[in-house]
Amino acid sequence: MAHSHEEHHHEEEEKLRFFSSPLKHEPASLPRHESKISDEENRKDGPHTTNNEIPWNRDGQLHESPEFHRHEAAQSIELFYDLFFVANLTTFTANHNINTVRTLSSYVGFFCILWFTWYQSTLYDVRFAVDNVVERVFKLVNFGVMMGLAAVGSGFDPDDTANKWKTFRELTLILMVSRLTLVAQYSFTLFWTRKYRQIVLPLLMVIAMSFIASMVYLGLYFAFQEGKDTNAYVAWYIVAVLETVLTTCVSMKWRVISFKGTHIQERLSLLTLIILGEGIILLCKSISYIIKGSWVFTSDTIGSIIAALLIIYGLYQVYFDRVVEHHFGTIRQQIWSFAHFPMHIALVLALEGTRQFVIWRQAIPMVDTVYANVFQWDFTVPQAPEVFESAITTIWDYAVYSFSFVKDADISSTNQTVYDSLATIANLTNTADLACNEDFTVCTDDVYTIDGALFDIFVAITKFEFDLLGIKAPKPKGDKKPTQSDVITSYSAIFDMIFTYFFITAGLTLILIGMLHWIATPPKKLGDYLRGGSNFVIGLGLCLLSTMSLARSPDTYGSVDKYQYGSWVLSTFVFALFANVVLNHVRRPAFMTKTHN
């Protein structure tokens, strides 16, 4: 009978309630509960043990410091929420091509909005969330916020607020809703814990901060107006950072709402794992671009794909080999949690740069092939008309051959450019006297015309193939139509920017991961300093590699160009990660260790 009663009692506890307290024990019922436990302990301890004052002392302490339900691991609904984060990030990355410094800053800005929205919700979940109907409704609102961010992400362009003003208004209202949801959630927690003196003030402060943030977001709604450029969106980032910093400071001051005993470390580690998974999605996206164009996988492309896999796996090892799962100090734990923000930014951009280099390893040989097939004339040597006719036929055949591999793509514009340029060349070679001196400094006018037509063909085919690979040149501002030379220059600028931010973020990722480990487990021995210092030294070296572009000569193709456009860029990061993993696990040889009998 007793067993059946226990099962029935357990089934009642399993039922989903409309409201439920985040506390382990209710204040009113606790003294009787504690008294029973104390009586049992008293009987076990013997007749000389008294417990008349123990329950009341404990109750007094409990009214100062409540005890909340804590989960040892992330709940399924929390993991489900994390999926919205990665889906949002993947969608934004797919629709937001990073091809200028402006689009790079826009990408970072949206990631800030996404990350801080996730982080604020997570801080509540790990400390106070319980499973009931009301909390599930709040979580549904959080899902809606993430979907709203995904919906407005495609139109997120801080440099065009005049035309995208509706998008920015929608975004600021979404942020307002997310903070008002936090106000409601913390208010419910305050209701259940109102009898505990120590928690009332910090909870009121957190509620006030979330409410003020929501009102600031509401006020920004009126700052975005049609036809008016504004930098008011900067307030989103300022408010998000201040809100998070103040929330962290409150939890440091009032330890009763700190992260101690929570699974915040697991949540942030899982988010890191999810971001690494998003890197795998990006890599698969790059491979799909290559397959879409039906191009042959060259040895360089295969090598870059393998290098990208090793980079993702190496980053996984560098972070998770040294992640600390146990509690390591309230203040340090909260600093450690917030420090994941810059690390995650660097990690996301390093993974995006890795994906871009896989694409460029396929694109660069294609450019060389197009150039070799288009520019075939030697104007310094007299050529018979038949040679020009043969060259024109060869170029046309190559263009047709290139287009034949492409499926479901509009080739009409590129095809027309190639046809018109070849027609221009054909008319000139039938009538013109084509000649140049040996150093190509003095030529007839028709030679320059032919050379320009060939350049138009080269750019048209290159742009077409780059578009298929997802490499898109930035659109010029205003009504100015870019020249063919402008297009080539823009592609070169894209590559230089990717090279720069890839090595900077790759180095910062290692440095910040090392910093996270030092915060969690401060070094005590020389070996700890050496192993931890490897992150900083190797990371700094990678950051300095980004300056190679400054040493490149615009007039000559030197060793710097060979490295940048070669196949060793990703391999450099692979070797750096390998060295870091080895140094993090190396131990002093036995003969160097002093032993004492």
What pLDDT, in 10s, does the model give residues 358-392? 988 888 888 888 877 777 666 555 555 666 677 77
Query: In this model, does residue 499 exceed pLDDT 90?
Result: yes
Please report the beta strands in 348-424, taking only residues with DSSP state E, as ranges in sequence order: none
Query: In this model, does residue 29 exceed pLDDT 60?
Result: no
User: Which residues are within 8 A (CB) of 474 and not within 5 positions of it... i.e. 6 or more apart?
Assistant: 99, 100, 103, 490, 494
Half-sphere exposure (Cβ direction) of 465: Cα atoms closer than 13 Å: 28
Helix residue ranges per DSSP H, 321-339: 330-338
pLDDT at 38: 40
pLDDT at 252: 86
Query: In this model, does residue 269 exceed pLDDT 70?
Result: yes
User: Which residues are within 8 A (CB) of 559 and not within 5 positions of it... i.e. 6 or more apart?
Assistant: none
pLDDT at 365: 83
Output 160 or 545, whichever has higher pLDDT. Answer: 545
pLDDT at 309: 95
d(CA 149, CA 83): 14
pLDDT band at 170 (very low <50, low <70, confident <90, very high): very high
Query: In this model, does residue 40 exceed pLDDT 80?
Result: no
d(CA 438, CA 123): 72
How wide is the angle at C-alpha 275 spanned by C-alphas 512 and 287, nearest 5°? 120
**559: three-class secondary structure by DSSP:** helix
The percent of residues in the chain predicted with pLDDT above 70, rounded, is 76
For residues 147-151, average pLDDT? 92
Output 475 or 556, whichever has higher pLDDT. Answer: 475
Q: Among 19-28, 40-49, 202-211, which range has the highest average pLDDT?
A: 202-211
pLDDT band at 196 (very low <50, low <70, confident <90, very high): confident
pLDDT band at 58 (very low <50, low <70, confident <90, very high): very low
d(CA 15, CA 19): 11
Query: In this model, does residue 5 exceed pLDDT 60?
Result: no
Q: Specify whether the CB–CB gap between 189 and 134 falls below 8 A.
A: no
Which tokens hold the place of 555?
A: 């007039």
Mark residue 217 as left, alpha or beta (left: phi above 0; alpha: psi -120 to 50; beta: remaining): alpha
Query: In this model, does residue 563 exceed pLDDT 90?
Result: no
Name the least confident of 52-66, 194-208, 413-427.
52-66
User: Which residues are within 8 A (CB) of 362 and not within 5 positions of it... i.e. 6 or more apart?
Assistant: 290, 295, 298, 300, 301, 304, 469
Backbone angles phi, psi at 64, to 5 degrees: -90, -45
Query: What is the average pLDDT value for the chain, to the nearest integer?
Result: 80
Output 368 or 70, whichever has higher pLDDT. Answer: 368
For residues 438-463, average pLDDT? 74
**Diameter over CA atoms, the chain:** 122
Per-residue pLDDT reduced to its tens digit, 319-353: 998 787 766 767 888 889 999 999 999 999 999 99
- The amino acid that residue 297 corresponds to is F
Backbone angles phi, psi at 51, to 5 degrees: -140, 20
First to last CA, the chain: 62
User: Which residues are within 8 A (CB) of 378 and not within 5 positions of it... i.e. 6 or more apart?
Assistant: none
pLDDT band at 236 (very low <50, low <70, confident <90, very high): very high
Q: What Cα–Cα distance (Å) separates residue 380 from each residue in 310, 432, 448, 531?
A: 49, 15, 13, 62
Sorted by where each begins, the domain ranges of the chain are 76-258, 364-485
Q: Among 97-111, 389-403, 553-567, which range has the highest average pLDDT?
A: 97-111
**443: three-class secondary structure by DSSP:** strand
Query: In this model, does residue 140 exceed pLDDT 90?
Result: yes
pLDDT band at 481 (very low <50, low <70, confident <90, very high): low
Per-residue pLDDT reduced to its tens digit, 272-316: 999 999 999 989 988 888 877 656 777 888 899 999 999 999 999
Of 579, 511, 86, which is closest to residue 319 (Cα–Cα)? 511
pLDDT at 473: 79
pLDDT at 41: 41
For residue 301, how many other CB atoms are within 10 A of its CB?
Answer: 21
For residues 520-534, average pLDDT? 77
Angle between helices 101-128 and 165-192 (to 10 degrees): 20
The H helix count followed by the E strand count for the chain is: 20, 0
Which tokens hold the place of 43?
A: 């009987």
Which tokens hold the place of 72?
A: 């040892």
**436: three-class secondary structure by DSSP:** strand
pLDDT band at 45 (very low <50, low <70, confident <90, very high): very low
**In the beta sheet, which residues pair with residue 23?**
68
User: What's the 3-state SS for 61-79?
Assistant: HHHHCCCECCCCCCCHHHH
